[in-house]
């Protein structure tokens, strides 16, 4: 089987198109509409999603909440360190990344609290806290803005880097397609008969990791935890049974749904799971009918997922259109709706 070179998913993106801050109003970001069947690309505003969706559609959203997972401290020996917590191991122990040289047994002091470096696994550090890590994050933590946003977090990010429906803490990055929705927009959709189902996928640090392999088949996908309630499973199956179209809000929703769906297009199980699904062109979607998503990094696994959904040529043409028309890219950038 012939392998697919990673460079196939590269494109030229001027730095000034990488959004450094959110749009003034969530739903006034731009929306690029893609119709796969008719090969149509239209320019709209995100709030026009109300006119694009019908009562025959329903949304599945990721209600994860971003942790204030970036902490600043210093080693007992005095050197400054920056800690980014990524995955809970137990109530006092997290996996994380540390900027600053540390070795096993080192102690990090964060606001008077002691954190012990228990283990080093490649670039991951296992960190044991002498306090409640969640309380420490809530009081002293910073929103972990992605590395391509070249500034410190501000108070505005504490709300704007969360979706209006965020509930379940556990992510180190926002499910960014959902950032465009306002409470009022959600109400308009519900009043129109567009139902909304919530699931949870905790976005991990792997979402920012570049694909280092030369061929996509050689890339090892990161794993992320997700949760689907019995109520959500039943609701999704009922709506699909009625012939309604599932609109996934964000690639995180796609990953969770496609991981748990059966080949018949339904969900049999519910509860907590993890997934390392890697969706690339050629993948046959089992349950997702339409997609709302942001614009993703060159050579990223998320761009590959979108290419699998919309078709490679159509996706790359749409990205070229977005660059030429100066759309804003990545987490705080503009959106696409693909049907």
Is residue 23 located within the same domain as residue 87?
no
Could you tell me if 77 and 31 lie in one domain?
A: no
Whether residue 291 sits in one domain with residue 171? yes
Domain boundary pick from 109, 141, 173: 141
Say how far apart CA 300 and CA 323 lie, in whole Å: 17
Residue 149 located in a structural domain = no
| Mode of pairing for the β-strands spanning 93-99 and 107-110 | unpaired
Tell me whether residue 148 is in a domain. Answer: no
Condensed to tens digits (0 to 9), the pLDDT of residues 246-301 reads 999 999 999 999 999 999 999 999 999 999 999 999 999 999 999 999 999 999 99
One domain, residues 129 and 163 = no
Q: Are residues 33 and 161 in the same domain?
A: yes
> In total, how many domains does the chain have?
2
Average pLDDT, integer, range 143-165: 96
Q: What is the mean pLDDT of the chain?
A: 96
pTM assigned to the model: 0.95
Cα separation values, 151 from 19, 158, 336, Å = 11, 14, 26
Residue 86 belongs to a domain: yes
Place of tokens 């796609």: 254
User: Which structural domain, as residue segments, surrounds residue 248?
Assistant: 6-66+156-338
Q: Looking at residue 98, which CATH number applies to its domain?
A: 2.40.10.240
| Residues near 247 by beta carbon (within 8 Å), at least 6 away in sequence | 53, 57, 58, 59, 60, 289, 290, 291, 292
User: What pLDDT does residue 208 have?
Assistant: 63
Is there a domain that residue 1 lies in? no
Same domain for 136 and 161: no
Clarify whether residues 58 and 75 are in a common domain.
no
Q: What is the pLDDT confidence band of residue 306, given thresholds at 50, 70 and 90? A: very high
Q: Say how many C-beta atoms besides its own lie within 10 A of residue 226's C-beta.
A: 24
Q: Is residue 42 part of a domain?
A: yes
């Amino acid at each position: 089987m012939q392998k697919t070179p990673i460079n196939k998913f590269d494109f030229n993106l001027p730095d000034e198109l990488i959004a450094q801050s959110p749009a003034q109003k969530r739903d006034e970001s731009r929306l690029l509409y893609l119709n796969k069947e008719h090969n149509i690309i239209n320019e709209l505003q995100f709030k026009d999603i109300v006119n694009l969706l019908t009562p025959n559609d329903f949304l599945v959203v990721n209600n994860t909440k971003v942790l204030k997972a970036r902490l600043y401290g210093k080693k007992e020996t005095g050197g400054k360190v920056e800690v980014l917590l990524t995955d809970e191991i137990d109530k006092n122990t997290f996996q994380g990344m540390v900027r600053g040289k540390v070795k096993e047994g080192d102690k990090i002091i964060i606001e008077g609290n002691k954190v012990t470096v228990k283990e080093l696994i490649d670039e991951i550090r296992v960190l044991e806290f002498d306090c409640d890590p969640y309380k420490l994050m809530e009081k002293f933590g910073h929103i972990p803005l992605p590395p391509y946003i070249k500034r410190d977090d501000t108070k505005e990010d504490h709300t704007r880097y969360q979706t209006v429906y965020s509930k379940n803490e556990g992510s180190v990055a926002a499910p960014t397609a959902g950032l465009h929705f306002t409470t009022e927009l959600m109400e308009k959709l519900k009043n129109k008969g567009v139902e909304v189902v919530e699931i949870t996928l905790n976005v991990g640090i792997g979402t920012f990791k570049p694909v280092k392999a030369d061929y996509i088949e050689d890339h090892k996908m990161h794993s992320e935890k997700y949760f689907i309630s019995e109520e959500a499973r039943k609701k999704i199956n009922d709506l699909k049974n009625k012939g309604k179209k599932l609109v996934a809000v964000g690639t995180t929703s796609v990953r969770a749904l496609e991981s748990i769906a059966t080949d018949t297009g339904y969900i049999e199980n519910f509860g907590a799971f993890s997934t390392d699904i890697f969706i690339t062109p050629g993948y046959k979607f089992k349950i997702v009918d339409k997609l709302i998503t942001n614009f993703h990094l060159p050579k990223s696994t998320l761009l590959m997922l979108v290419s699998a959904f919309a078709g490679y040529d159509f996706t790359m043409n749409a990205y070229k259109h977005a660059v030429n028309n100066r759309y804003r890219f990545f987490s705080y950038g503009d959106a696409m709706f693909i049907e």
